[in-house]
Amino acid sequence: MNKKEQIYEGKGKKLFATDDAATLIAEFKDDLTAFNAQKKAQEKGKGALNAAISAKLFRLIELNGVSTHLIKRLDETNHLIKKTQIIPIEVVVRNIATGSLTKRLGIAEGVKLPFALVEFYYKNDNLGDPILNDEHAVLMKLASENELKTLKELARKINDILRPFFESIQLKLVDFKVEFGRDQSGRILLADEIGPDSCRFWDANSGEKLDKDRFRQDLGGVKAAYEEVLRRVEGALK
Ligand code: UDP
């Protein structure tokens, strides 16, 4: 599949056209951003680590019955994907309280939530990705009521697949963000990526953070943490 002109550049990936109008190539970048891109850095090899981790997780998710945009990983940093229209809603699933949930609502850091909490955020950098309820999303025509129901169901299903998987490799899946797109027939597919840039992973034994919080909080060892996540994921998913 030929990589043709670049059609989009986001914070973590570039999208390229291919010979097939229904297919794109997503190239994972080495850029690290946090706090709505106010904090930026580069980490050589990070794109390849995320591309490898995300490909493995998308395959696991697909095998467990959730359709994704991933066709295949082409090389270190490039994924061949189905073209979708991205729904501008970041769907966050939380198992343990931390981050913005503790700041906004005063829930104690590290508390295990009684059920997986699903939240919607409006994907809009100018507004700083504000939290949304269903009625906001429907009146802004970001998605239909039916689609919101599907997004919640798929997000919970993905959590039900990933949480025990990460538990089996001694990682607590604290929370994560997913994005979805509509294909040409309107079917909703898991899109974007899943990995240490968009999830929080805490080592089950030491509690060590093995995700982008190492960058957000200047803890150092970002690449080593991502490498450790890949090592464990690859160890479990040959
Ligand atoms: N997240 C993300 N992109 C965003 C915002 C959040 O991938 O633009 C992920 C983040 O890595 C975490 C989860 O969503 O796994 C919940 O993040 P939170 O709302 O606590 O925001 P933060 O504290 O990261 O600002």
Tokens of 149: 């129901």
176 lines ligand 1 (CB under 6 A): yes
In contact, 229 and 170? CB cutoff 8 Å: no
The pTM of this model reads 0.97
For ligand 1, the distance from its centroid to the CA atom of residue 5, given in whole angstroms, is 31
DSSP classification of residue 57: H
Same domain, 202 and 94: yes
For ligand 1, the distance from its centroid to the CA atom of residue 92, given in whole angstroms, is 7
Give the CATH number of the domain where residue 178 resides.
3.30.470.20
Same domain, 108 and 37: no
For ligand 1, the distance from its centroid to the CA atom of residue 19, given in whole angstroms, is 35
C-alpha 202/C-alpha 170 separation (Å) is 9
Taking only the tens place, the pLDDT of each residue in 175-233 is 999 999 999 999 999 999 999 999 999 999 999 999 999 999 999 999 999 999 999 99
Tokens of 216: 């957000």
C-alpha 119/C-alpha 133 separation (Å) is 8
pLDDT reported for residue 7: 98
Same domain, 121 and 22: no
Tokens of 19: 């010979």
Q: Which ligand 1 atom minimizes the distance to the CA of 174?
A: 15
Q: Identify the residue whose tokens are 């190239």.
A: 27
Domain that holds residue 62: 6-82
Q: Identify the residue whose tokens are 């680590």.
A: 49
Find the mean pLDDT for residues 42-67. Answer: 98
Compute the Cα dihedral for 178, 78, 126, 201 and give only its sign: positive
pLDDT reported for residue 90: 98
Taking only the tens place, the pLDDT of each residue in 146-159 is 999 999 999 999 99
Helices and strands per DSSP (H, E), number in the chain: 6, 14
Q: How confident is residue 238, by pLDDT bands cut at 50, 70 and 90?
A: confident
Percentages of the chain per state (helix, strand, coil), in multiples of 5: 30, 35, 35
C-alpha 209/C-alpha 108 separation (Å) is 18
100 lines ligand 1 (CB under 6 A): yes
119 lines ligand 1 (CB under 6 A): no
For ligand 1, the distance from its centroid to the CA atom of residue 67, given in whole angstroms, is 23
pLDDT reported for residue 227: 98
Same domain, 116 and 193: yes
Find the mean pLDDT for residues 156-179. Answer: 98
221 lines ligand 1 (CB under 6 A): no
